[in-house]
Structure 1
Amino acid sequence: MNAVEASEQLIELVRGNDDIANHADGCDAGTMAAAESDLGVAFPPSYRRLIEEFGTWDIAGEEFLGVYQTPAMGQKLLGSVTETLDARSQYGMPSDLIVVMFDGMGGLVALDSSQVDREGEYPVLVWNPGDVDRDSMERLGDDFGSFAFALCQRAVTRWQESG
């Protein structure tokens, strides 16, 4: 299964578990282009697919930043855009990383656009404020779709088994 196929499986998982999942309404092409412009980097195909579908989402306790707007914040792009730009300005995060979630231990789960594979996907790393050496960053996956689907599938299974 490639990264985009994994994203499609994750979409089915979220839609099939609406009792333990939440999501927004997705992003249109204009919002997506604005997000990429603000960040100065394109989203990889598997992350783009999920943002198009949901904007932002969570399932069984796993939260993904995505890209979204709220009436209170107006046109400001929230989620990955805000968190990435904040991490860059406040903590010196490299400009080729895109924050997609928090790791729960002070680190940021990020996509590394400096390492593009043949399908246009970026590896998933954990960036901690102050990290400068990419080789020392924990690698969570080869692409976002596969990483996110596996993470969510485990979370849903644990949720079901605990209930």
Structure 2
Amino acid sequence: MNKLQENLIDKAYRMALQTDEKIHTGNPAEHTLIAEIEKELDTRFPLSYIHFLIKYGNLSFFGETFYGTTQKGMQATSAPSVLFVTKNNRALGQLSERMIAIKSSGYGPIFAIDMSEADQYGEGKIVEVALGYKITGEKKVLANSFAEFFYSEIENAIEDLNE
């Protein structure tokens, strides 16, 4: 795995720890669970996202919730389960079959990993998917990897805390 990607995720987590805000993480995922979820979603997860799942499961910090694995594993029926949220959004036509839901905006759009735009290292671009995606196909690239997006979101949340 690209150590820079791994380091960005862990650096963001350490930055969040230095605040007075609570951080909630899920159960770290086993490789077998990750493989089952990938199979169910018919996609491969980028290595930076796998690192996040193995280390944190899912994560909530200062109103930001990053989807991942939960104690209920394959039987999860709510957020923050990446499996549940991705399957539901795909069924509603809000994501393509090559997208993985990783976070809700809270105001409509969905943040997703778009594996149709994966680079040579298997990192998918992070996109903001518009509410009308089913009709328009509109999406906006926000970051080149999950690690970059996660770091940026945590950094922005900390800046908001300090205002």
The alignment's TM-score, normalised by the length of structure 2, stands at 0.84
Superposed, which structure 2 residues align to 1:90-109 within 5 Å?
Answer: 90-91=92-93, 93-109=95-111
Unpaired runs of 5+ residues, structure 2, are: none
- Residue 117 of structure 2 aligns to a residue in which SS? coil
- Tell me, what secondary structure is at the counterpart of 1:68? coil
Question: Per the alignment, in what secondary structure is the counterpart of residue 141 of structure 2?
Answer: strand
The offset of 1:3, in angstroms, is 2.4
Query: In the alignment, what sits opposite 1:76?
Result: 75
Deviation of the 1:85 alpha carbon:
0.5
1:46-65 maps to which residues of 2 (within 5 A)?
46-65=48-67
Give the unaligned 5+ runs of structure 1.
none
Give yes or no for contact 1:99–1:108 (8 Å, CA) kept in 2: yes
> Are residue 20 (structure 1) and residue 19 (structure 2) matched?
no
- Is the 8 Å Cα contact of residues 43 and 98 (structure 2) preserved in structure 1? yes
2: CA distance, partners of 1:18 / 1:27: 26
Could you say which residue in structure 2 is the equivalent of 1:144? 146
Measure how far apart 1:100 and its partner are: 0.2
Match of 1:34 in 2: 36
SS at match of 2:101: strand
Cα 1:107–1:155, aligned 2, differ >3 Å: closer, same or farther?
Answer: same
CA contact under 8 A between 1:45 and 1:120: conserved in structure 2?
yes
Instruction: Report the CA distance between 1:15 and its aligned residue.
Output: 4.4
Q: Distance in 1 between matches of 2:40 and 2:49?
A: 16
- CA deviations 1:91-147 (Å, max 9, x no partner) are 35210000000012211101000111122111000113442565x411111111011
Aligned to 1:10: 12
1:51 is matched by which residue type in structure 2? L
Cα distance change on mapping 1:35 and 1:13 into 2, 3 Å: farther
Change (3 A) 1:75 1:98: closer
Q: What is the aligned residue count?
A: 157
